Amino acid sequence: MEKNEEISFDDFDELVNPKPEENDFDRILEVALTRRGLLKSVVAVGSLAALGSAATLTPSEAIAATNRFAFDAIDANTLDDITVPAGYSAQVVTRWGDPLWSDSIEFNHATRGSAESQARTFGDNIDGMEVFAHGDKTLMVVNNEYTNRTTIWGNRAEGKFETDDDILKGKMAHGLTVVEIAQSDDGEWGVVVDSPYNRRVTPDTAMEMTGPAAGHDLLKTEADPEGKTPLGTYNNCGNGSTPWGTYLACEENFNGYFSAADEAHEVSPELQRYGVSASDWGYGWAKIDDRFEVSKSPNEPNRHGYVVEIDPRLPDSAPKKRSALGRFKHENAELVVNNDGRVVVYMGDDERGEFLYRYVSNGVFAPGGETDSLLEDGKLYAAKFADTGEGEWLELNPETSGMASMAEVCIHARIAASTVGATTMDRPEWVTANPNAPEVYCALTNNKNRGIKPNAGGDETPAGGPNPREENLYGQVVRWRPNGGDHTSNEFSWDLYVMAGNPKIHSDANAGSENISEANMFNSPDGLKFDSNGVLWIQTDGNYTNAEAFEGHGNNQMLAGDPVTGEIRRFLVGPNECEVTGLTWSPDKRTMFVGIQHPGEKGNSHWPEGGDAVPRSAVLAIKRDDGGLVG
């Protein structure tokens, strides 16, 4: 079966790996009835309580909170352009296909490049990103999550590859790009062409596997009989960073690149749980690389689905796959140094009905000390939320999962989390920790299957707890506070920061929580990141039809949220058919960098160049016109 552009990755996974249909009418009815009561209690302990706290602020606290937003909200729109508030300006720093070296080939709008040009230019579809100060240099690392076939092969009939070079061009558009960036005399940011730090990390780059899974039989292949040196990273979605100066790239939909020439080939149940099948998503990698022919390389998919640590200061270093953080469809990795020095990483698995995870290191972080073991040696947990507003982290280990080793637990983390009874979530996307309080937020983007059908492992997905709406179209942001402010505590309390919705057309729960109005409505929160002042930035990857259930939402956007008052204001609207994702700041906090992914994914954008130009994913630099701080 072939995936077309109109169908989402999750929908395609469901088509090729159909899940059991729900047919127990009595149970559905019971869930529906329970849901009505639950929704009230969730809203009571959730967003309404958060908003209620605004009323109890002292006047000076209220003013301080209001002043967090140094801009006037902008309206939703459907322009093929970037819109930012008055007093702010946005410029393009770099785009898909821009040269990294002086001998790189410039982007060609007619051919959209070749494998050779793509391998030495900026990758496609920008996602997670981070900026690092390194001496007097500014280094930027950017995920290039995937490529839109009808865009990159838009020079071919029907937007499909025709040659092996076309396939390799698509492959080289994936991975990451590391660049040195600098400001010109007039303050414009750009790439330092020929910087020794510039680097492409691709699906073919040599890597090192670390942690419990390294060397396990499930990771051994003909090309790597020791199971320790996988090649490549791809479909890197969100990101994280460490206090020791490294970048964390998170492998998400790795399954969609594997296929078998024999369409009837059946993969193992474990691979099916991760969505691997005989059909890929139309990228064709197996036609040029046997690693992706799953009948020949059945262990290759076990070597992907990890958090990958990359040191941008060492352009020749092998990235390290951190198996201790579990294998699943990683969205991002939010690293917090706990009060006792242990490293805690919060991570979402972005698929309908999958789980939220936490990793806790055994060792402690000390500036200047050894850091290599901190992401190799620790404990892995999955979250269980109770409807009461409490929750707990359930440890995943051989005893709790019934698996033979910690290696298996890490490789099959989804299956271990199902075994311990973790809570099925509405597609956990980015997680971010408040720098001013021991609390953590996660975007639950949407889940049309909530209350309708089980997840890929057969776990039921009743509406309730932090996932209160059946057939959830709009998404919500959940937050939790670890007991005693200790991120290693296994207990937490939770509430909902916001339920997105549409108050223009709904008056029930689909209107959203009380901090949503016709002035700030949005759908499908995805990117989520606190700035250093404690403003919560929310980026969307949702429905941009601006019609019916989404009337008034406009194009995808970025909003700022106040964690104390619950106020949310729209800051940026992206061009047509894009997703806004990836956010970081310059070391002096006077520039905010924002990623624009897949503009014109259905063929209706020429951003950023306009005219007849091919739309190109790009990194924006946004500054205040008065040169003030932006984060």
Alpha carbons 323 and 146: distance in angstroms, whole number: 22
Q: Compare residues 143 and 418 and give the one whose CB is closer to ligand FEO.
A: 143
Q: Which of 10, 408, 526, 601 binds Ca ion (CB under 5 A)?
A: 526
- Find all residues with CB under 8 Å of 245, minimum gap 6, and list them: 132, 134, 311, 312, 313
Per CB under 5 A, which region of 23-31, 93-101, 234-242, 454-462 contacts Ca ion? 234-242
Per CB under 5 A, which region of 53-61, 311-319, 398-406, 539-547 contacts Ca ion? 539-547
Helical pair 25-45 and 47-55, crossing angle rounded to 10 deg? 20
Q: Compare residues 237 and 622 and give the one whose CB is closer to Ca ion.
A: 237
Q: Compare residues 352 and 487 and give the one whose CB is closer to ligand FEO.
A: 352
- Find all residues with CB under 8 Å of 260, minimum gap 6, and list them: 278, 286, 293, 294, 295
Q: Which of 13, 426, 541, 567 binds Ca ion (CB under 5 A)?
A: 541
Per CB under 5 A, which region of 48-56, 232-240, 387-395, 449-457 contacts Ca ion? 232-240
Alpha carbons 539 and 537: distance in angstroms, whole number: 7
CB 545 to ligand FEO: min, Å: 19
Instruction: State yes or no: residue 349 binds Ca ion (CB under 5 A).
Output: no
Give the residue from 307, 304, 320, 331 showing the smallest Cα distance to 582.
331
CB 351 to ligand FEO: min, Å: 8
Per CB under 5 A, which region of 97-105, 172-180, 287-295, 534-542 contacts Ca ion? 534-542
Q: Is 551 exposed, middle or buried, given 0-12, 13-18 or 19+ CB atoms closer than 10 A?
A: middle
Instruction: State yes or no: residue 300 binds Ca ion (CB under 5 A).
Output: no
**Among Ca ion, ligand FEO, none, what does residue 252 contact (CB within 5–8 Å per kind)?**
ligand FEO
CB 444 to ligand FEO: min, Å: 11
**Among Ca ion, ligand FEO, none, what does residue 204 contact (CB within 5–8 Å per kind)?**
none
**Among ligand FEO, Ca ion, none, what does residue 280 contact (CB within 5–8 Å per kind)?**
none
Structure tokens at 601: 């994914």
Per CB under 5 A, which region of 151-159, 279-287, 429-437, 479-487 contacts Ca ion? 429-437
Q: Compare residues 229 and 524 and give the one whose CB is closer to Ca ion.
A: 524
Tell me how far the alpha carbon of residue 430 is from its chain's centroid: 5
CB 526 to ligand FEO: min, Å: 6
Q: Write out the H or E segment, with its range, that includes residue 585.
A: strand 579-585
CA distances from 265 to 217, 223, 377 (A): 22, 22, 37
Q: Compare residues 237 and 248 and give the one whose CB is closer to Ca ion.
A: 237
Tell me how far the alpha carbon of residue 211 is from its chain's centroid: 23
Q: 3-state class of 339 per DSSP?
A: coil
Residues near ligand FEO (CB under 6 A) are: 145, 237, 252, 331, 350, 429, 526
Q: What is the DSSP string of 27-47?
A: HHHHHHHHHHHHHHHHHHHTH
Per CB under 5 A, which region of 3-11, 222-230, 524-532, 602-610 contacts Ca ion? 524-532
Tell me how far the alpha carbon of residue 279 is from its chain's centroid: 24
Q: Compare residues 495 and 526 and give the one whose CB is closer to Ca ion.
A: 526
CB 347 to ligand FEO: min, Å: 12
Q: Compare residues 119 and 237 and give the one whose CB is closer to ligand FEO.
A: 237
| Count of CB atoms situated within 10 Å of the CB of 186 | 5
Instruction: State yes or no: residue 251 binds Ca ion (CB under 5 A).
Output: no
Q: Compare residues 238 and 438 and give the one whose CB is closer to ligand FEO.
A: 238
User: Using a CB cutoff of 8 Å and minimum separation of 24, what contacts does 340-346 make?
Assistant: 340/364, 340/486, 340/488, 341/365, 341/366, 342/487, 342/488, 343/242, 343/374, 343/375, 343/378, 344/487, 344/488, 345/240, 345/307, 345/375, 346/431, 346/433, 346/440, 346/442
- Interface with Ca ion: number of residues (CB under 5 A): 4
Instruction: State yes or no: residue 289 binds Ca ion (CB under 5 A).
Output: no
Structure tokens at 367: 């500036």
**Residue type at 596?**
I
Per CB under 5 A, which region of 79-87, 308-316, 370-378, 425-433 contacts Ca ion? 425-433
Q: Compare residues 343 and 528 and give the one whose CB is closer to ligand FEO.
A: 528
**Among Ca ion, ligand FEO, none, what does residue 333 contact (CB within 5–8 Å per kind)?**
none
Q: Compare residues 429 and 439 and give the one whose CB is closer to Ca ion.
A: 429
Backbone angles phi, psi at 259, to 5 degrees: -155, 175
Cβ-proximal residue to Ca ion, closest one: 541
Q: What is the DSSP string of 280-328?
A: -SS--GGGT-GGGBTTT-TTGGGG-SSEEEE-TT-TTSPPEEEGGG--S
CB 89 to ligand FEO: min, Å: 28
CA atoms within 13 A on the CB side of 509: 24
**Among Ca ion, ligand FEO, none, what does residue 601 contact (CB within 5–8 Å per kind)?**
none
Look at the block and give the residue holding tokens 């990103």: 129
CB 441 to Ca ion: min, Å: 15
CB 54 to ligand FEO: min, Å: 31
Q: Write out the H or E segment, with its range, that includes residue 116.
A: helix 115-119
Longest dimension (CA), the chain: 69
What is the number of helices (H) and of strands (E) in the chain? 11, 27
CB 328 to ligand FEO: min, Å: 11
Q: Compare residues 309 and 429 and give the one whose CB is closer to ligand FEO.
A: 429
Q: Compare residues 65 and 478 and give the one whose CB is closer to ligand FEO.
A: 478
Q: Compare residues 94 and 125 and give the one whose CB is closer to ligand FEO.
A: 125
- Asked if 537 and 529 count as a contact pair (C-beta separation under 8 A), the reply is yes
Q: 3-state class of 525 per DSSP?
A: strand
CB 106 to ligand FEO: min, Å: 29
Which residues of the shown chain bind Ca ion in the complex (CB under 5 A)?
237, 429, 526, 541
